[in-house]
């Protein structure tokens, strides 16, 4: 699968629907992705969410209409997805520092063309802190026991990683000794989709592998990961920069690899090289792949 071409199909679909309601699920279908993975790949490639992109493109489309047509501002607002002219005006002024009526009066003297800039920190990160080639491994079935929480990731407008995951890990680390039959060594962060009803809502499981069945500690749960083929990467540096590694995996490596994501769970692997808050820290990140 050529991910860049597939994402472009989704973008092309958005462009044909700027005057109509746009469902992200329909965009993902046109691109040949599940909704969650389209949102994640799109965010990695563009550094903005699909919803934000659609909103900004509809606003940009309204610029052209204000200049080239005599349509009422209310009609332009409705086509841009706003329920009232007032809400459209607020959003327009926030984006362009003037009202729609003021912009129309300026005519062709005012153009808002912004060229996308690459993030210098991201470019530096992938050159220094990421294993650019993946280690392809067959991960045997394993059972992870720990604590879990639903959350919204960085590819969502509802991103609440900072509110959800640090506390979850603090709680699990404090109670890790309660897990019976734990395999010495790594801790795991397991990232999976909750349901198709809310493709942005994810489930994060912080835990440790167990070798045999045993009673679960109070409030803990288990997740069984089937045997799967994984592409495994090394993230070096401050753990807070892990998102940049994930962006590289999805936007660069996966786009060029000839593989596709299998829709299984992603894995964060915290081994002996993990040092909280340190630039010398090492984390492994793995995604399940299919040919």
CATH of the domain at 229: 3.20.80.10
Kindly state whether residue 257 falls inside one of the protein's structural domains.
yes
* Number of folded domains that form the chain: 2
Which residue among 74, 109, 144 closes a domain? Answer: 109
Kindly state whether residue 115 falls inside one of the protein's structural domains.
no
Q: Give the chain's mean pLDDT.
A: 86
The answer to whether the beta carbons of residues 207 and 192 sit under 8 Å apart is no
Q: What is the pLDDT of residues 194-219, one digit of tens each?
A: 876 677 789 999 999 999 988 999 99
Q: What is the pLDDT of residues 43-57, one digit of tens each?
A: 877 767 888 888 888
Q: Is the pLDDT of residue 113 over 60?
A: no
Tokens coding 104: 């129309």
Are residues 97 and 146 both part of a single domain? no
Tokens coding 204: 């994060």
Where is pLDDT greater, at 59 or 287? 287
Residues 6 or more apart whose Cβ sits within 8 Å of residue 90: none
Kindly state whether residue 60 falls inside one of the protein's structural domains.
yes
Where is pLDDT greater, at 233 or 132? 233
The answer to whether the beta carbons of residues 34 and 11 sit under 8 Å apart is no
Looking at the chain, the whole-number percentage of residues with pLDDT higher than 70 is 91
Kindly state whether residue 116 falls inside one of the protein's structural domains.
no
- CA 269/CA 259 separation, integer angstroms: 21
pLDDT at residue 47, as a whole number: 65
Q: What is the pLDDT of residues 122-146, one digit of tens each?
A: 657 766 788 888 999 999 999 999 9
Are residues 105 and 127 both part of a single domain? no
pTM of the model: 0.72
Range among 5-9, 44-48, 96-100, 185-189 rated most confident: 185-189
pLDDT (average), residues 246-274: 86
Are residues 27 and 92 both part of a single domain? yes
Are residues 99 and 134 both part of a single domain? no
What is the pLDDT confidence band of residue 236, given thresholds at 50, 70 and 90? very high
Name the residue range of residue 273's domain. Answer: 123-290
- The neighbour count for residue 232, using CB atoms within 10 Å, is 17
Are residues 67 and 196 both part of a single domain? no
pLDDT at residue 173, as a whole number: 95
Q: Is the pLDDT of residue 81 over 90?
A: no
pLDDT (average), residues 91-118: 65
Which residue among 85, 109, 133 closes a domain? Answer: 109
Q: Is the pLDDT of residue 94 over 70?
A: yes
Are residues 150 and 94 both part of a single domain? no
Kindly state whether residue 117 falls inside one of the protein's structural domains.
no
Are residues 146 and 257 both part of a single domain? yes
Are residues 174 and 76 both part of a single domain? no
Q: What is the pLDDT of residues 145-167, one digit of tens each?
A: 999 999 988 777 788 888 999 99
Q: Is the pLDDT of residue 6 over 70?
A: yes
Are residues 205 and 166 both part of a single domain? yes
pLDDT at residue 116, as a whole number: 35
Are residues 128 and 199 both part of a single domain? yes
Q: Is the pLDDT of residue 255 over 80?
A: no
Greatest pairwise CA separation for the chain in angstroms: 73
- Residue whose entry in the numeric block shows the structure tokens 């009066």: 105
Are residues 93 and 185 both part of a single domain? no
pLDDT (average), residues 57-78: 87
Which residue among 58, 75, 109 closes a domain? Answer: 109
Going by C-alpha positions, the residue among 185, 184, 175, 261 that lies closest to residue 221 is 175
Tokens coding 202: 């994810």
Kindly state whether residue 152 falls inside one of the protein's structural domains.
yes
The answer to whether the beta carbons of residues 226 and 206 sit under 8 Å apart is no
Kindly state whether residue 114 falls inside one of the protein's structural domains.
no
- Residue whose entry in the numeric block shows the structure tokens 């997740």: 223
Are residues 149 and 28 both part of a single domain? no
CATH of the domain at 86: 1.10.10.60
């Amino acid at each position: 699968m050529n991910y860049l071409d597939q994402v472009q199909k989704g973008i092309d679909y958005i462009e044909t629907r700027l005057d109509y309601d746009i469902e992200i699920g329909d965009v993902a279908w046109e691109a040949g992705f599940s909704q969650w993975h389209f949102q994640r790949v799109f965010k990695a490639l563009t550094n903005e969410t699909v919803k934000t992109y659609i909103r900004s493109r509809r606003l940009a489309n309204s610029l052209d209409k204000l200049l080239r047509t005599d349509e009422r501002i209310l009609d332009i607002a409705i086509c841009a997805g706003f329920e009232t002219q007032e809400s459209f005006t607020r959003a327009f002024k926030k984006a362009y520092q003037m009202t729609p009526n003021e912009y129309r009066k300026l005519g062709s003297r005012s153009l808002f063309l912004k060229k996308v800039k690459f993030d210098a920190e991201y470019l530096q990160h992938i050159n220094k802190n990421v294993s650019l080639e993946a280690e392809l491994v067959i991960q045997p079935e394993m059972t992870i026991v720990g604590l879990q929480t639903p959350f919204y990731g960085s590819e969502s407008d509802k991103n609440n990683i900072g509110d959800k995951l640090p506390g979850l890990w603090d709680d699990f680390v404090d109670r890790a000794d309660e897990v019976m039959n734990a395999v010495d060594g790594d801790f795991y962060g397991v990232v999976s989709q909750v349901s198709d009803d809310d493709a942005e809502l994810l489930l994060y499981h912080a835990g440790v592998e167990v070798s045999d069945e045993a009673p679960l500690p109070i409030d803990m749960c288990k997740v069984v990961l089937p045997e799967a083929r994984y592409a495994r990467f090394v993230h070096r540096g401050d753990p807070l920069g892990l998102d940049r590694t994930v962006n590289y995996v999805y936007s660069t490596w996966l786009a060029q690899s000839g593989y596709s994501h299998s829709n299984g769970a992603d894995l964060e692997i915290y081994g002996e090289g993990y040092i909280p808050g340190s630039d010398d820290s090492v984390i492994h990140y793995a995604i399940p792949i299919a040919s």
